[in-house]
């Protein structure tokens, strides 16, 4: 299992991400008049964020690590903090504000996200060295709260409407359910990030197994939902 993860972890992860992005682009015409089109754009964005974020591994593969070994970007923590831990939260906040009709819920998400963004900028400024050398746990946790809150507010609105009768046909339901589960699984791992090094391969393999399962589950579900679901009646 360990050798399998070493050889195929990245390939499988990129594969399911690319599959979801490609299927999304094929389905773009179907969803072009709905907010789901933004989700498809995000899938393409997520693929390239993950792909480009693997630059330390790519440079090691081609014996080019010397290009970054003495720089602040020798590790990719900064990249994923900006473009995933912050970027993904901002996107999902935007998406759920597009699909939630209740004004008070929209305002709660909007202002909470604004506070999150300001907090993240201040955290990076106050923890400049940590920003490049480790994952900033407080940003991860705060971002998770924003995601979970947005999903819960969406589910509450859905439960109070007639759309709950056909929830299994809604792309937004699958998006909400999957990211809710994904963030609940992934977030606790950041508290053990200190052990993520070659000096503790047991934790490295455990983290890879959890991330691989979570990513495959998430992106395959997105792929299925894009194909199976029909566009919502509510336009962009």
Q: What is the pLDDT along the chain (236 residues), one digit of tens a residue?
A: 667 777 788 899 999 999 999 999 999 999 999 999 999 999 999 999 999 999 998 998 899 998 898 899 999 999 999 999 999 999 999 999 999 999 999 999 999 999 999 999 999 999 998 999 888 999 999 999 999 999 999 999 999 988 888 889 999 999 999 999 999 999 988 877 766 665 666 777 888 899 999 999 999 999 999 999 989 765 45
CB 22 within 8 A of CB 225: no
In a domain, 191, yes or no: yes
In a domain, 193, yes or no: yes
Range(s) of the domain holding residue 11: 2-228
Rounded to whole angstroms, the Cα distance separating 13 from 214 reads 10
100 conformational bin, left if phi > 0, alpha if psi -120 to 50, beta if neither: beta
In a domain, 222, yes or no: yes
Considering its fold, how many domains does the chain have in total? Answer: 1
């Amino acid at each position: 299992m360990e050798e399998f993860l070493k050889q195929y972890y990245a390939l499988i992860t990129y594969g399911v991400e690319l599959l979801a992005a490609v299927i999304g682009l094929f389905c773009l015409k179907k969803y072009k008049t709905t907010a789901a089109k933004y989700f498809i754009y995000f899938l393409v964005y997520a693929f390239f964020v993950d792909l480009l974020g693997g630059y330390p591994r790519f440079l090691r593969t081609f014996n080019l690590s010397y290009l970054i070994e003495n720089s602040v970007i020798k590790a990719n923590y900064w990249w994923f903090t900006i473009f995933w831990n912050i970027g993904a939260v901002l996107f999902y906040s935007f998406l759920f504000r597009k699909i939630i009709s209740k004004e008070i819920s929209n305002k709660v998400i909007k202002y909470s996200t604004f506070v999150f963004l300001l907090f993240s900028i201040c955290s990076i400024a106050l923890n400049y060295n940590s920003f490049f050398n480790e994952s900033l746990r407080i940003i991860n946790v705060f971002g998770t709260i924003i995601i979970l809150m947005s999903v819960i507010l969406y589910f509450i609105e859905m439960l109070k409407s007639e759309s709950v009768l056909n929830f299994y046909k809604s792309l937004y339901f699958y998006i909400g359910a999957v990211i809710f589960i994904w963030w609940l699984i992934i977030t606790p791992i950041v508290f053990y990030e200190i052990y993520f090094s070659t000096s503790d391969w047991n934790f490295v393999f455990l983290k890879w197994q959890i991330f691989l399962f979570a990513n495959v589950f998430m992106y395959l579900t997105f792929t299925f939902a894009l194909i199976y679901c029909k566009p919502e009646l509510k336009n962009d």
